[in-house]
Amino acid sequence: MTNQLVSPTSGKTLIRMATRTTTPVSADEPKPVQVERSFIEVVIFDGRLISRGSQFGHVAIEIDGTVYSRAPSIYFKGSYTKYLRSNTAQTVSDETGDHSGMYRDGIGMYLWVSPREKKLIRDELERRVAENAKYRLFGNSCSTNVADVLELAGILAHDPRGFDLVSPADVLTGLRRSNRLVEERHYKKGYEGGASGNW
Q: What is the pTM of this model?
A: 0.75
Which one, of 44, 8, 5, lies nearest residue 142 by Cα?
A: 44
Instruction: Report the pLDDT value the prediction gives residue 54, as an integer from 0 to 100.
Output: 57
Q: How much is the average pLDDT of 108-121?
A: 96
Structural domain boundaries in the chain: 40-75+105-187
Residue 135 neighbours by CB distance under 10 Å: 18
Q: Is residue 135 predicted with pLDDT exceeding 90?
A: no
Q: pLDDT above 90 covers what percent of the chain?
A: 43
Checking if the pLDDT of 49 tops 90, the result is no
Tell me the range of 12-16, 117-121, 194-198 where mean pLDDT is highest.
117-121
Which of these, 183, 190, 175, lies nearest to 44 by C-alpha position? 175
- For residue 50, the model assigns a pLDDT of 54
What pLDDT is stored for residue 51 in this prediction? 54
pLDDT at 85: 87
Mean pLDDT of the chain: 84
Q: What pLDDT is stored for residue 95 in this prediction?
A: 74
| Average pLDDT, integer, range 54-79 | 90
Q: Kindly give the residue spans of alpha helices, DSSP state H, lying in the chain.
A: 80-88, 115-131, 142-152, 168-176
pLDDT band at 193 (very low <50, low <70, confident <90, very high): low
The arithmetic mean of pLDDT across residues 47-63, rounded, is 72
Q: What is the CA radius of gyration of the chain?
A: 24
| E strands, 8-87, in order | 13-15, 38-45, 58-63, 66-70, 75-79
**What's residue 23's pLDDT?**
67
